[in-house]
Amino acid sequence: MNETYVHGYNRRENVRLHDQAGALIDLLHADTEYPAGSRVLEAGCGVGAQTVTLARGSPDAQFTSVDVSGDSIAEARRRVDRAGLTNVQFRHADIFALPFSAESFDHVFVCFVLEHLSRPVEALAILKRLLKPGGTITVIEGDHGSAYFHPDSLAAREAVQCQVELQRQAGGNALVGRQLYPLLVESGFEAIRVSPRMVYVDSSRPDLVDGFTRQTFTAMIEGIRENAIASGLIEPERFDAGIRDLHRTTHADGVFCYSFFKGVGEKGRGAQPRGEQPCSGGDAR
Amino acid sequence: MNETYVHGYNRRENVRLHDQAGALIDLLHADTEYPAGSRVLEAGCGVGAQTVTLARGSPDAQFTSVDVSGDSIAEARRRVDRAGLTNVQFRHADIFALPFSAESFDHVFVCFVLEHLSRPVEALAILKRLLKPGGTITVIEGDHGSAYFHPDSLAAREAVQCQVELQRQAGGNALVGRQLYPLLVESGFEAIRVSPRMVYVDSSRPDLVDGFTRQTFTAMIEGIRENAIASGLIEPERFDAGIRDLHRTTHADGVFCYSFFKGVGEKGRGAQPRGEQPCSGGDAR
């Protein structure tokens, strides 16, 4: 996974840390449950924020969680141990060079990973090879272009756009959420269903105002300040005005909206292409 | 209702006409049901697109539907008659001068109306006076700033922005959906809960590709072409490029997202302000 990260692992970490009420975890993960005995690959587990939720939600499934960062794997292992979970094993590996045989897994799970990849279809095709026929892939991604708010602010939108542009320059795609359907089609999956998971925040939900609008989304944008300015994408005053306006949306009359997308696809049971090539996906809908 | 309409009644009409599968009607209205015997005011019924859904969904409630346009009322009456519904009466009236006594209704329903009003809080306060204590208001509005799509296109976003600007110049607010919570708070309603209703369209849903992306949203933007160009908001070539890019999102790899918002608030049972003033809403959350 030779990709440059714009914001490290902070965002998914923050989603977990600040989601005191579990509302976001439910929104993203409540409908993911794997049968007893199934083998599940979590590709790109990071520091294990999703791993704990996954392994707890499917206590009788066996998870293999991989990440390109050894430090992250170490932290994920500590976290899973602290949670008392025994159904996860970790492997330190690149998503483009995974040490598994074809058709090794019943299911694959990918969360907040594709946004960082310049070749997401290639990654999905590799993961598809590792799936048994009839197995599923579940992909969850955010989409920074889905953020809008009240009061509206051009400066705030420009600050968010800096994040989109920096991620693009790093080879990633901050708008990947809306693209899950075509990406899964192009990778050859079948029976694809994508559903948006919109986080709607007004002041009747102070947990989300603080945990999502302030500590997750706005904090993420604040985190690219130096990089955005150094890259010449925006003037410091303009960026800071955008951040002030994002904070303004956390007032009593403010509203903040953001959407994640969750896609599930199946690996067909039909004839597989010969040799080691990923499926061409010709029979996908 | 002395407001200039940007697009007449076409949009809400289109939502109905092209929603062959009923998916949008379910998304917006499935959770609205009024008890037997309750009196419900539909403020701004237009040509009755929602009236038929409402009256069918609550066959034992009594609806009073008003609109500022006599022609629209006539069409709404024909439509309700054709549907065989007998629980609706119509009144030709301005929302700012409604011919009803205070506390006449158990519930109020408002759909695709606030976006056209320059004084939405005033309208909501007037409607609140007509509610019995403990009665509810239900408000449904779109939000054109919630539209995003794949492939993304700056030209398409600029064409959409023309609609937002024209509606603003006409005294309306095309971003009103995201503002329902603060508007209901400011109008003095209590126990307010707002939920987004996101329309997510990919090519696995050809009914929505045609009925919503093409025939409803893109057709609405196409409809402002002359006005947007005459107002100097955009060059013809740029607008047309934007429309082409909106149509591009209807291809097999395209995705289109739009959100409606639905808000429900209650009129408190506590002490009412003296005289004829609308409630101040001091105890609203």
**Using alpha carbons only, what angle is made at residue A196 by residues A190 and A201, rounded to the nearest 5 degrees?**
165
- The closest CB to that of A257, out of B196, B200, B254, belongs to B196
CA–CA distance, A280 with B193 (Å, rounded to integer): 47
Q: Is the minimum CB–CB distance between A195 and chain B shorter than 8 Å?
A: yes
pLDDT along chain A (285 residues), means of 10: 44 51 86 97 95 96 97 96 97 96 98 96 98 98 98 98 97 98 98 98 96 95 97 98 98 98 95 46 35
pLDDT over 70 (residue B265): yes
How many other C-beta atoms are found inside a 10 Å radius of the C-beta of residue B79?
18
Q: What is the average per-residue pLDDT within B115-128?
A: 97
CA–CA distance, B205 with B221 (Å, rounded to integer): 22
Cβ distance A178 to B149 less than 8 Å, yes or no, reads yes
Identify residue B217 by its one-letter amino acid code.
F
Q: Is the minimum CB–CB distance between B193 and chain A shorter than 8 Å?
A: yes
**B200, B248, B249, best to mutate vs chain A, most A CBs in 10 Å:** B200
Q: What is the average per-residue pLDDT within B196-213?
A: 96
CB A146 within 8 A of CB B200: no
Predicted confidence at residue A19, as pLDDT, reads 55
CA–CA distance, B65 with B38 (Å, rounded to integer): 14
Please, which residues bridge with residue A39 across strands?
Answer: A62
Work out the angle between the directed axes of helices A154-169 and A236-248 (0-180°, nearest 10). Answer: 110
Please, which residues bridge with residue B64 across strands?
Answer: B41, B89
CA–CA distance, B172 with B4 (Å, rounded to integer): 8
Name the residue of chain B whose CA is nearest to A256's CA: B178
- Choose among B150, B163, B182: nearest CA to B256: B150
Inter-residue long-range contacts of B22-26, CB under 8 Å, 24+ positions, other chains counted:
B23/B205, B23/B207, B23/B208, B24/B199, B24/B208, B24/B211, B24/B212, B25/B53
- Choose among B226, B15, B255: nearest CA to B153: B255
Cβ distance A185 to B253 less than 8 Å, yes or no, reads yes
Predicted confidence at residue B270, as pLDDT, reads 76
Where does the pLDDT of residue B19 fall: very low under 50, low under 70, confident under 90, or very high at 90 and above? low
| CA pseudo-torsion sign A73, A75, A81, A83 | negative
Please, which residues bridge with residue A255 across strands?
Answer: A150, A202
The Cα of A133 is separated from the nearest Cα of chain B by a number of Å equal to: 22
Q: What is the average per-residue pLDDT within B16-20?
A: 50
The Cα of B26 is separated from the nearest Cα of chain A by a number of Å equal to: 16
Q: Is the minimum CB–CB distance between A46 and chain B shorter than 8 Å?
A: no
DSSP letters along B208-257, please? Answer: HIIIIIIIIIIHHHHTTHHHHHHTTSS-HHHHHHHHHHHHHTTSTT-EEE
The two three-digit tokens of residue A14, written as one number: 């923050």
Where does the pLDDT of residue B282 fall: very low under 50, low under 70, confident under 90, or very high at 90 and above? very low
Where does the pLDDT of residue B3 fall: very low under 50, low under 70, confident under 90, or very high at 90 and above? very low
Predicted confidence at residue A2, as pLDDT, reads 36
Name the residue of chain B whose CA is nearest to A204's CA: B285
Cβ distance A255 to B181 less than 8 Å, yes or no, reads yes
Predicted confidence at residue B4, as pLDDT, reads 43
Please, which residues bridge with residue A88 across strands?
Answer: A63
Q: Is the minimum CB–CB distance between B251 and chain A shorter than 8 Å?
A: no
Name the residue of chain B whose CA is nearest to A148's CA: B146
Please, which residues bridge with residue B199 across strands?
Answer: B258
The two three-digit tokens of residue A15, written as one number: 């989603």
Task: Bin B258: left if φ > 0, else alpha if -120 < ψ < 50, else beta.
Answer: beta
Please, which residues bridge with residue A201 across strands?
Answer: A256
Provide, as residue numbers in chain B, all residues whose Cβ is less than 8 Å from the Cβ of A194: 200, 202, 204
pLDDT digits (tens, 9 = 90+) for B165-177: 999 999 999 999 9
Cβ distance B257 to A196 less than 8 Å, yes or no, reads yes
CB A8 within 8 A of CB A166: no
Q: Which stretches within chain A are classed as H helix?
A: 10-17, 23-29, 49-57, 70-82, 120-130, 154-169, 180-186, 206-208, 219-222, 225-230, 236-248
Cβ distance A255 to B179 less than 8 Å, yes or no, reads yes
| Close Cβ partners of A41 (under 8 Å, ≥ 6 residues apart) | A63, A64, A65, A66, A100, A104, A105, A107, A108, A109, A127, A130
CA–CA distance, A90 with A67 (Å, rounded to integer): 8
Predicted confidence at residue B89, as pLDDT, reads 97
Where does the pLDDT of residue B220 fall: very low under 50, low under 70, confident under 90, or very high at 90 and above? very high
Q: What is the average per-residue pLDDT within B22-38?
A: 93
CB A23 within 8 A of CB A213: no
Q: Is the minimum CB–CB distance between B178 and chain A shorter than 8 Å?
A: yes
Q: For A106-110, B16-20, B199-203, which range has the lowest pLDDT when averaged over its residues?
A: B16-20
